[in-house]
Structure 1
Amino acid sequence: MPPEIAGVIGIGVLLVLLAIRTPIALAMAAVGIGGFTALVGWTPALAILETVPSDVLTNFGFSAIPLFVFMGVLASKARMAGELFDMARTVFGAWRGGMAMAAVMASGTFSAISGSSLATAATISKVALPEMEKKGYAQSLASGVLAAGGTLGVIIPPSIALLLYGLITEQSVGELFIAALIPGLLGVVGYALAVWIVVTLRPGLAGDSMPSTTLGEKLRSMRAVGPFLVIFLIVLGGLYTGFFTPTEAAAVGTFATLIVAVMRKVSLTDIVSAIGESLAMSVVIFFMLLGAEIFGYFLSVSRLSFYISDLISSAGMAPMGVLLCILLLYLVLGCFMDSMAMMLLTVPVVFPAVMAAGFDPVWFGVITVITVEIGLITPPVGMNVFVIKASARHVPLGAIYRGVTPFILADAVRLALLILFPWLMLGITV
């Protein structure tokens, strides 16, 4: 059997395993070992099982992942999310839909220290959803804006998804983080505009506005942003100047967050609990990394990615057509698959085709993560939707899906702008 055909069969088997709800990490590992055995032999396949776990778990670059995860969990334990929402509510609360806009701003700011979409959605929803419901906000708008706001954790640095993309494709993590700044800000602005349009067309969704606040009160409330700004500048500044490696930046950022937590008198019990939560989340990520690494060996010997690249070249497809096909694939997969698993599975396959089409790898990385981000709130799965549902069991799932629709449209507009105007990202990475 030609190796390319074996690669296609392997992808098909993998999709079947995912359809019957096999854990993604186990499915990738099983297909990887089975395919490698079929193409190379059983003894080399056993050698992969012997070496891959130690290679992944001792990879210095991957050590940044649990540190960034711990940084976000620790920030949550330090009650930073509540202060952020209070600050944003003081600034925007008197506007029509102001509390929904405050939820967007709080999500965007918390993302600058979290790096995880699911953590951002879960943390901000615990604080903001009860307050919006007290003010009479419709369940669809209140839950939808929190599910969408959580996706900002994927793109606003430090982003675990961008970190993984950089490690997989051997691109500069610092350049990826810098390139994601403007897209992240566009996401915040786009979501706020989506709220404004929704409450303008249907004012009844927004509930009651808060009393107006003075300029002095607004300025005093902004002190809550201080710790986030300091930690964000330390991490991003160190990466951009080359003073820190990604792992060193994660370590310094975590230490700074720990100092803030201690200053806020976070108990030792909460710190230990944060370590436990971070370890649990990190184990899931590393298990997926192990499966992806084993599956990657199979892809290499099948030469499937290069076959796809050659097929596209021989078909004479324009570069933009290649990009749109890949993004469409991500949108479809996003309806059924977790975002991190989707990246680990697909990036090794499509990256050679992207390079052959002449696209900038940093630009494509940010575009990919934004497309994956849309999948986090797209039916019928949408992981962020289920995070909100878990936090608010009384809110119907249908209401959350209705609520995220305007924000999916806002994401589509942002994605189109970034494709049409690459300098929005690449202009600040030079």
Structure 2
Amino acid sequence: MQIWHVVLLTIVLMFVLLAIRVPVGFTLGISGALGLTLLHGTGYATNTLGSVPFANSATFTLTIIPMFILMGMLAVRANIAENVFAVANHFVRRAPGGLGVATVMACAGFSAVSGSSIGTAATMAKLSVAQMRAAGYPASLATGVVAIAGTLGVMIPPSTFLVLYAVMAGESVAQMLAAGILPGLLSAVGYIAYIMIAGQRQVRRTDPAELEDAIGDAQAELRTKRIVGRSAEAGAAGDRTPGGTAGAGGRGSGGTALADPVAPHAGRTRLRSLPWRGVVHIAILFIVVLGGMYSGFFTSTESAAVGALAALIILAIENRRGGLRGIVRHFREALLDTAQTTSMVFFVVIGSAILSTFFVAAGVTRAITEWVGSLPLSPMLVMAILLVCLVPLGMFLESMSILIITVPILYPIAEQFGFSGVWLGIMIVKLIEIGMVTPPVGILTFVVSGITGVKPEKVFRGVMPLLAIDVVTTTLLFLFPAISLFLPSLVQR
């Protein structure tokens, strides 16, 4: 059997296994193992299967991944997303498309501590979709905003995808994380601009009082819990009414946090009563992780561990009223979720290492590099064509598998043409973001659909206009690499 027959058979097997829902890690490993067996025999394949998984997973740099995942899981249980959403709502509630803008801002803020797109989308779907629906947003727009803003989790550091790319490509983890900041913020600004200019026209106009009620809903539960606790400590439990909490800044019945229009200091009271601790907690984690890394106090791996420790302290502070048992329960749940996610990631890493070994042994990477180099096209055009090919891949493959399959092929080509490996990583991750919300797979759209009960086709309909913003952002990042490379240029490898 000729080599190209073996390569074709391996690729077909990989797509068949993915189509029948075999886990990605097993799919990549089985395909690579079969290819190695057909190429060099059983002995070579078994030796490879015995050495490659250990060599590619026993890397100290990879310990940053479970630490970042743990930090994100702890941040979820510390109610950081809820608090940030409440603060963002307060300041942009009167702007056009205010709730949608607040959702994007909260997603960007929470991405800075979670590092997970799925976690960000799932959390914000629970918090903001119902509020937007109550304020007159159509279901497609409300869910589409959450799904597209959730993609910021793979770009804004700490990002598991950026770390994994850095390890695979041999780039600096610190530089890759720095490179994700400006593209992530640029994407967020683009989403906000669309919501304020075009998206808000779809919002059904409601009575101002009803709109104010809808905006305050995200804050009501948090404030009610805090006020109830303070009242109990002051011995004033009997002053609470059945429909809500009296006093405390003139909040009305039903627990809705509305300023009393006749109280002279109501605005200031409400501003002081906002859950600013969520913003403070994000700032603390961001400074601990990135500040510690770039100042030289910690290595990238150490900064992730210290960030997880800081998140644990924040979790304990936020859940202190539940006692030690409540804190331990939240911590245990975070550890279990971290173990599950980490296992999935490392399964994919090991499977991709086996498949990549096959591609190298079959000469696929070398052949593609030589073929691309011989094309009578400019290097910029060649890279544009190769990167655009990631979009259809994103329509059918899981996001992490795209990253792991394409990096060993695209990185040597970019290196040969003289492109920055850091810039290439940002472009790949940005296109993976698009794949996360592109039909028919679009994992984030199904996550939002499952949580909100809105049909997937409606979520896709809401995402499509926002994808145009992503196309513009991606084009800017491609044509102006300085956007991605400015901050990394200030960071040592």
TM range (shorter): over 0.9
Contact in 1 for aligned 2:111/2:153 (Cα 8 Å): yes
1:248 has 2:281 as partner: no
Q: Report the CA distance between 1:189 and its aligned residue.
A: 0.7
Counterparts of 1:123-272 in structure 2 under 5 Å?
A: 123-204=123-204, 209-210=211-212, 214=267, 217=270, 221=274, 222-264=276-318, 265=320, 267-272=327-332
Structure 2 Cα separation of the partners of residues 347 and 397 of structure 1: 30
Structure 1 Cα separation of the partners of residues 8 and 345 of structure 2: 26
Counterparts of 1:46-57 in structure 2 under 5 Å?
A: 46-57=46-57
Query: Match of 1:36?
Result: 36
Counterparts of 1:340-379 in structure 2 under 5 Å?
A: 340-379=400-439
Q: Report the CA distance between 1:58 and its aligned residue.
A: 2.7
Structure 2 Cα separation of the partners of residues 422 and 250 of structure 1: 27
1:380 match: secondary structure = coil
Structure 2 Cα separation of the partners of residues 290 and 220 of structure 1: 49
Contact in 2 for aligned 1:199/1:206 (Cα 8 Å): no
Contact in 1 for aligned 2:136/2:203 (Cα 8 Å): no
Identity of aligned residues (%): 35
Query: Match of 1:309?
Result: 369
Task: Pick closer, same or farther for the CA change 1:216–1:179 going to 2, 3 Å.
Answer: farther
Query: Match of 1:276?
Result: 336
1:384 has 2:438 as partner: no
1:315 match: secondary structure = coil
Query: Match of 1:115?
Result: 115
Equivalent AA in structure 2 for residue 251 of structure 1: A
Moved more, 251-260 or 344-353: 344-353
Moved more, 265-274 or 110-119: 265-274
Contact in 2 for aligned 1:4/1:303 (Cα 8 Å): no
Q: Report the CA distance between 1:66 and its aligned residue.
A: 1.3
Query: Match of 2:230?
Result: none
Q: Report the CA distance between 1:218 and its aligned residue.
A: 5.1
Query: Match of 1:71?
Result: 71
Q: Report the CA distance between 1:219 and its aligned residue.
A: 7.4
Structure 2 Cα separation of the partners of residues 240 and 319 of structure 1: 33
Query: Match of 1:418?
Result: 477
Query: Match of 1:402?
Result: 461
Task: Pick closer, same or farther for the CA change 1:57–1:199 going to 2, 3 Å.
Answer: closer
Q: Report the CA distance between 1:10 and its aligned residue.
A: 2.5
Task: Pick closer, same or farther for the CA change 1:205–1:287 going to 2, 3 Å.
Answer: farther
Q: Report the CA distance between 1:139 and its aligned residue.
A: 0.7
1:427 has 2:481 as partner: no
Task: Pick closer, same or farther for the CA change 1:242–1:44 going to 2, 3 Å.
Answer: farther
Query: Match of 1:300?
Result: 360
Q: Report the CA distance between 1:314 and its aligned residue.
A: 1.4
TM-score, scaled to structure 2: 0.83
Structure 1: segments with no counterpart, 5+ residues: none
Contact in 1 for aligned 2:138/2:202 (Cα 8 Å): no
Moved more, 6-15 or 114-123: 6-15
2:334 match: secondary structure = helix
Task: Pick closer, same or farther for the CA change 1:58–1:206 going to 2, 3 Å.
Answer: farther
Contact in 1 for aligned 2:112/2:157 (Cα 8 Å): yes
Contact in 2 for aligned 1:137/1:206 (Cα 8 Å): no
Tell me the matched-pair count.
429
Structure having the higher Rg: 2
Structure 1 Cα separation of the partners of residues 329 and 22 of structure 2: 35
Query: Match of 1:10?
Result: 10
Equivalent AA in structure 2 for residue 348 of structure 1: P
Counterparts of 1:19-34 in structure 2 under 5 Å?
A: 19-34=19-34
Structure 2: segments with no counterpart, 5+ residues: 216-257, 260-266, 321-325
Moved more, 111-120 or 64-73: 64-73
Query: Match of 2:249?
Result: none
Q: Report the CA distance between 1:22 and its aligned residue.
A: 2.6
Moved more, 217-226 or 415-424: 217-226
Equivalent AA in structure 1 for residue 291 of structure 2: G
Q: Report the CA distance between 1:167 and its aligned residue.
A: 0.4
1:362 match: secondary structure = helix
Moved more, 212-221 or 86-95: 212-221
- Write out per-residue CA displacement over residues 374-422 of structure 1, whole angstroms, 9 at most, x where no aligned residue: 11111111010011011012x1212111111122111111111111111
Counterparts of 1:303-342 in structure 2 under 5 Å?
A: 303-342=363-402
Structure 2 Cα separation of the partners of residues 57 and 165 of structure 1: 14
Equivalent AA in structure 2 for residue 259 of structure 1: I
Q: Report the CA distance between 1:223 and its aligned residue.
A: 4.4
Contact in 2 for aligned 1:306/1:353 (Cα 8 Å): no
Equivalent AA in structure 2 for residue 398 of structure 1: E
Q: Report the CA distance between 1:106 and its aligned residue.
A: 0.4
How well do the aligned residues superpose, as a CA RMSD in angstroms?
Answer: 2.1
TM-score, scaled to structure 1: 0.94
Task: Pick closer, same or farther for the CA change 1:203–1:126 going to 2, 3 Å.
Answer: closer
2:396 match: secondary structure = coil
- Write out per-residue CA displacement over residues 182-228 of structure 1, whole angstroms, 9 at most, x where no aligned residue: 10111111111111122354343899643898588557644431111
- Write out per-residue CA displacement over residues 251-299 of structure 1, whole angstroms, 9 at most, x where no aligned residue: 0110011111111126211110111111111111111111011111111
Equivalent AA in structure 2 for residue 356 of structure 1: Q
Query: Match of 2:244?
Result: none
Equivalent AA in structure 1 for residue 110 of structure 2: F
Task: Pick closer, same or farther for the CA change 1:215–1:152 going to 2, 3 Å.
Answer: farther
Contact in 2 for aligned 1:32/1:298 (Cα 8 Å): yes
